[in-house]
A = this chain, B = another copy of it.
Amino acid sequence: MIDQLIANIKKTNAPIVVGLDPMMKFIPGHITRAAFAEYGETLQGAAEAIWQYNKGIVDAVCDLIPAVKPQIAMYEQFGVEGVAVFRKTVEYCKHKGLVVIGDVKRGDIGSTSEAYAVGHLGRVTVGSKSYAPFDEDFATVNPYLGSDGINPFIKVCREEKKGIFVLVKTSNPSSGEVQDRMVDGRPLYEIMGEQVARWGSECMGETYSAVGAVVGATYPEQGKILRRIMPKTYILVPGYGAQGGKGADLVHFFNDDGLGAIINSSRGIIAAWQQEAYARFGEDGYADASRQAVLDMREDIARALASR
């Protein structure tokens, strides 16, 4: 699947992943009204609004981008109905030819981690049959519990040709509370980066590993170091746009081959219509606003990479 992701990136010439992290306040009024008219102000109504909103955006941007990253929390908050729309969104995006990174940040141990891996990336056995319950292509994974938590994911990645992105240095202000702690004179995220490279060596694609890493755009200096520590690791970079990361901050996340990183933007794309720069599209044109925001992001990154 890492090879598929890279093929998609090369084809679109856009190392971009759109974060499908819907919040009710992003959804145009006409979509919400129609959903509530059909299902009432219920969890199902909210889920339906999210679904229609997602579909509009995906239809508008799918030819421009290699991948999407739905954040499951934004669906899970609407309960079982929300989780059903997460599933439906994954399926729809794959049908559109997109690689789907499930931003689930799961992490547990042994048979429990295996259950998450099977549920999100693999197939679960029921009697004599088997099913792929959520069937994302990649999942994000939390490494706080160590190898016991990661190995079951790696096993499923190998069996099913899927991939993971392990949290190494996250984009948020407080990520340093744990991740920057100095261990034998080096920050924990560096040690984690080395560990990710080791895990990754067990499941290589053609040029990069199926075990990637999450490193926030908001920490460009750390990104530079981690790029060196993990040369064959794809880096998923959140924090561009709304969280403050800029095109120029991103260059060090890439390798000299122009690959090795994929930049996420969530509300910068999906809620573009609410920003001044795209206000001209209006509420009804929210999907076109998202398309324009993708084009602008692509140019911003291309410009930064060209001038490095």
Determine whether the beta carbon of A45 is less than 8 Å from that of B126.
Answer: yes
A145 at the interface (CB under 8 A from B): yes
| Chain A, 166-184, CB within 8 A of any chain B CB | 167, 170-179, 181-184
By a CB distance below 8 angstroms, the chain B residues around A76 are 115-116, 119-120, 133
| Interface presence of A74 (CB below 8 A) | yes
Complex Cα spacing A204 to B261, Å: 44
Smallest beta-carbon distance A19→chain B, Å: 10
Interface string of A149-176 (1 = CB under 8 A from B): 1000000000000000001001111111
Given the known interface contacts A126-B42, A177-B195, the answer about A79 and B119 at a Cβ–Cβ threshold of 8 Å is yes
**Residue contact B24 to A126, C-beta cutoff 8 Å:** yes
Nearest residue (CB) in B for A42 is B126
A43: interface (CB < 8 Å):
yes
Q: Tell whether A137 is near chain B: CB-to-CB under 8 Å.
A: no
Bound complex: CA of A25 vs CA of B146, how far in Å? 26
What residues of B have a CB within 8 angstroms of the CB of A179 in the complex? 144, 146
In the complex, what's the smallest C-beta–C-beta distance from A83 to chain B, in angstroms? 5
Q: Is the CB of A191 within 8 A of B181?
A: yes
In the complex with contacts A113-B73, A119-B73, A177-B147 CB distance below 8 A: yes
State how many angstroms separate the Cβ of A57 from the closest Cβ of chain B. 18
Contact with B along A28-68 (1 / 0, CB 8 A): 00001000100001110110000000000000000000000
Interface residue? A246 (CB, 8 A): no
Q: Is A84 an interface residue (CB 8 A)?
A: yes
Q: Which of A133, A148, A167 has the most CB of B within 10 A?
A: A133
Partner of A77, one of B133, B178, B184: B133
Bound Cα distance A125, B77 (Å): 10
Chain B CB within 10 Å, residue with most, of A43, A144, A176: A144
What residues of chain B lie closer than 8 Å to A178, measured between beta carbons?
143-146, 188, 192
Q: Is A279 in contact with chain B by the CB < 8 A criterion?
A: no
Binds B, one of A7-15, A103-111, A226-234, A298-306: A103-111
The CB with the most chain B CB atoms within 10 A, among A23, A42, A71, A107, is that of A107
Contact A131 to B173, CB < 8 A, known contacts A112-B74, A125-B24, A143-B178: no
Sampled A-B contacts (17; CB under 8 Å): A32-B127, A46-B126, A73-B108, A73-B112, A73-B116, A76-B119, A77-B124, A78-B124, A78-B131, A79-B87, A79-B131, A107-B142, A109-B171, A144-B179, A145-B178, A146-B178, A178-B192
